[in-house]
Amino acid sequence: MKVLVLGGAGYIGSHTVYELIDKGYDVVIVDNLSTGHIEAVHKDAKFYKGDIRDKEFLNNVLKTEKIDAVIHFAANSLVAESMTNPLKYYDNNLCGTKVLLDAMVENNIDKIVFSSTAAVYGNPKNIPILEDDETKPLNTYGETKLSMEKMFKWVSNAYNMRYVSLRYFNACGAHISGKIGEAHNPESHLIPTVLKSLISDNTIKIFGDDYNTKDGTCVRDYIHVTDLANAHILALEYLAKGNESNIFNLGNGVGFSVKEIIDASEKVAGKEVPVEVTKRRVGDPDTLIASSAKAKELLGWKPEFTDVSKIIETAYKWHKNNRF
Ligand code: UFG
């Protein structure tokens, strides 16, 4: 099967390409390199530099490459930025997806797997969170991802197309080879921020310790990027078997507080980091934990990285040797 990976130079995209190539898929990547890295592009994938909002460019790739299925990661994903620059998120995430869907319809491509997020739920009423729980995003990023899901629903209803939406919880970790990892600029996520602080002896800030959780800091469900990557391949196989469109949560089903992540990171690094508690970050829910029972049952997904220390070890290996 020939798979087009949009955003294949980004964090989760590049790890998915590594797994696809490992499993014998033929991979074509499109990435505008606005947040992705050319160094993260697998040498056995065919790479096109370009923007998914450029219909002529995208159509040309689809026509030339005779694509069987698409995996779509090409979106902006910074929650804070989405609140100060919402139109950037509407433009790239929604307008980009509209152009993509046009091009897929025109080229009769009928299968797509795409990145969604736990941010579609907002402040959940129940833990663990199920796919049909209420969706009430607290930020523009989550809102655009939810709108993308709805676009896929109505478009697949009208045309010969099926989709799988994967709602990731907290993606983290790095490829076990140490060749690729999380390389955001600027970095805002907890695990890479803690590890970078450990490496450079800088203070780590805890954004609030007065949440309604076990130790007052926010609780999240941390899931290894390679486990996420493998879920995309299972979702492709699910669609290739003729199954209907669907939405799946992806998490380990276990919650770790910010303090627990800092403690575990200090153990992995074998040193301590100065910690400062500051005020809450706007829009952080107390607790986000996934139920991934549906993905396990219908996709046959089974996360391999269930030990948070092992996850942090892979990330630490990457950050110590990060070359891009
Ligand atoms: N945190 C700190 N200090 C830091 C960085 C983060 O205390 O320096 C805290 C945050 O306040 C939060 C937790 O660590 O409580 C995790 O924060 P991240 O930024 O790593 O992750 P989020 O839970 O905010 O974001 C994740 C995904 C988003 C997604 C969101 C859904 O990365 O893409 O979950 O709520 F939108």
Read off the pLDDT of residues 91-106 as tens digits, 9 standing for 90 and up.
999 999 999 999 999 9
Q: How far apart are CA 218 and CA 280, in angstroms?
A: 10
Q: For residue 224, what pLDDT band results from cuts at 50, 70 and 90?
A: very high
Residues 6+ apart with CB under 8 A from 67: 2, 3, 4, 28, 61, 107, 109
| pLDDT > 70 fraction of the chain, expressed in percent and rounded | 100
Please report where in the chains the tokens 């007065």 appear, as a residue: 210
**Hey, whose CA ends up nearest to atom 5 of ligand 1?**
190
Q: How far apart are CA 286 and CA 228, in angstroms?
A: 23
Burial grade of 40 (CB within 10 A; 0-12, 13-18, 19 or more): buried
Q: Is the CB of 193 under 6 A from ligand 1?
A: yes
Strands 2-6 and 26-31: parallel
**Hey, whose CA ends up nearest to atom 16 of ligand 1?**
190
Q: Is the CB of 119 under 6 A from ligand 1?
A: yes
Q: In this model, does residue 64 exceed pLDDT 90?
A: yes
Please tell me which residue in 141, 222, 238, 316 is annotated as part of the active site: 141
Q: For residue 312, what pLDDT band results from cuts at 50, 70 and 90?
A: very high
Entry field: residues in the chain? 324
**Hey, whose CA ends up nearest to atom 19 of ligand 1?**
189
Mean pLDDT of the region 233-251: 98
Where would I find the beta strands (DSSP E) of 21-121?
A: 26-31, 46-49, 69-72, 111-117
Q: In this model, does residue 323 exceed pLDDT 80?
A: no
What's the pLDDT at 294?
98
Whole-number mean pLDDT of the chain?
97
Mean pLDDT of the region 264-288: 95
Residues 6+ apart with CB under 8 A from 248: 131, 164, 165, 166, 167, 231, 235, 292, 294, 295, 298, 299, 301
Whether residue 186 is preceded by a cis peptide bond, meaning omega within 30 degrees of 0, is yes
Q: For residue 185, what pLDDT band results from cuts at 50, 70 and 90?
A: confident
Mean pLDDT of the region 217-238: 98
Handedness of CA 230, 104, 28, 55 (dihedral sign): negative
DSSP letters, 74-99, are -S---HHHHHH-HHHHIIIIIIHHHH
> Of the residues 121, 127, 149, 190, which should be mutated to test ligand 1's pocket, given the most ligand atoms within 8 Å of the CB?
190
Domains and CATH numbers, the chain: 2-172+223-250 (3.40.50.720), 190-220+253-321 (3.90.25.10)
**Hey, whose CA ends up nearest to atom 27 of ligand 1?**
170
CA 116 vs CA 142, 144, 192, 257, 262: distances in Å: 8, 9, 21, 23, 27
Mean pLDDT of the region 107-123: 97
**CA atoms within 13 Å, Cβ hemisphere of 105:** 14
What's the pLDDT at 112?
98
- Tokens describing residue 106: 């025109």
- Tokens describing residue 305: 């990285």
Q: How far apart are CA 289 and CA 252, in angstroms?
A: 8
Handedness of CA 127, 129, 130, 134 (dihedral sign): positive
What's the pLDDT at 322?
81
Mean pLDDT of the region 307-322: 96
DSSP letters, 271-320, are S---EEEEPPPTT--SEE-B--HHIIIII----S---HHHHHHHHHHHHH
What's the pLDDT at 107?
97
How far does the centroid of ligand 1 lie from the alpha carbon of residue 74, in Å?
A: 20
How crowded is residue 253: how many other Cβ atoms within 10 Å of its Cβ?
17
Residue range 149-182, pLDDT digits in tens: 999 999 999 999 999 999 999 999 999 999 999 9
Q: Is the CB of 284 under 6 A from ligand 1?
A: yes
3-state secondary structure of 256: strand
Atom of ligand 1 nearest to the CA of 207: 7
Establish whether 141 is a catalytic residue.
yes
- Tokens describing residue 274: 């100065």
Q: For residue 303, what pLDDT band results from cuts at 50, 70 and 90?
A: very high
